[in-house]
Amino acid sequence: MAIIVIGGNTRNIGKTSVVAALISRLPEFRWTAFKITQFGHGFCTADGHPCACQTGDACLAINPERDAASGTDTSRFLAAGAERVFWVRTRIGRLADAMPRIRSEIADAPNAILESNSVLDFLQPELYLTVIHPAVPDFKDSARRFLPRADAILFSGPGNAGSGHGNAEALLDPGLRAKPRFVVGPPAWITGSLEDFVRAHCSSVESSRR
């Protein structure tokens, strides 16, 4: 069983689209998918606005997705072909509370894919892909902290993957320049080379555990 984590430098740069595309293009791995959202101080870290992520007085909510047509991020995972999908919502700094349930669901999965940066504090995935939009100056602290652990960098948006602006200049670190790079964007959101890269890693994990 392989665990893949998809993170990114900020919101609205295509992380969910990349996850959905990988699920769709690699159905043989029978994915269990997770969308992890943290909230606090009246706002959602997913989009910066009050929303359904808030769970009242509770610090944690984990809900299975059963509607593939609602248009939510988790419904997109289900529509793409994931066998099971969960939306995990925690207050900022309380993701540890969700980990026993997440680990339990992963243990029952052929393979798992999670959209999150912060989950890397608790999991060692077989593959961590980070989505970077070079033209967007916002850079989450969690994304910056885990950037050295990325197995590949996915540049979101058109243009040369090596060019960027603002905080994306952090990618000029020699160690990061040596990592595999892929350009992702609509409409497909993943390329054949990225699909092959992920398939090879997952297949290698399956082979090693037989």
Token pair 């299975």: residue: 64
- Residue range 10-60, pLDDT digits in tens: 888 999 999 999 999 999 999 999 999 988 644 444 444 455 555 454 578
The ranges assigned to domains in the chain are 3-208
Half-sphere exposure of 162 (CA within 13 A, CB side): 3
* Sheet strands (E) in 65-173: 84-91, 111-115, 127-132, 152-156
Question: For residue 206, what pLDDT is reported?
Answer: 76
**DSSP output for 157-189:** SSS-TT---GGGGGGGSHHHHTS-EEEE-TTT-
Q: How many CB atoms lie within 10 A of CB 123?
A: 16
Question: For residue 172, what pLDDT is reported?
Answer: 52
Whether CATH 1.10.3470 fits 3-208: no
Tokens of 165: 């602006």
What confidence category does residue 210 fall into, taking pLDDT thresholds of 50, 70 and 90? low
- Residue range 61-116, pLDDT digits in tens: 899 999 999 999 999 999 999 999 999 999 888 999 999 999 999 999 999 999 99
What confidence category does residue 138 fall into, taking pLDDT thresholds of 50, 70 and 90? confident
Mean pLDDT of 121-139: 89
| 195 alpha-carbon distance from chain centroid | 15
Token pair 């504090």: residue: 121
Q: Are 87 and 7 within 8 A, CB to CB?
A: no
Q: Are 184 and 154 within 8 A, CB to CB?
A: yes
Q: Residue 164: is its pLDDT beyond 50?
A: no
Q: Residue 6: is its pLDDT beyond 50?
A: yes
Query: What pTM value is reported for the model?
Result: 0.85
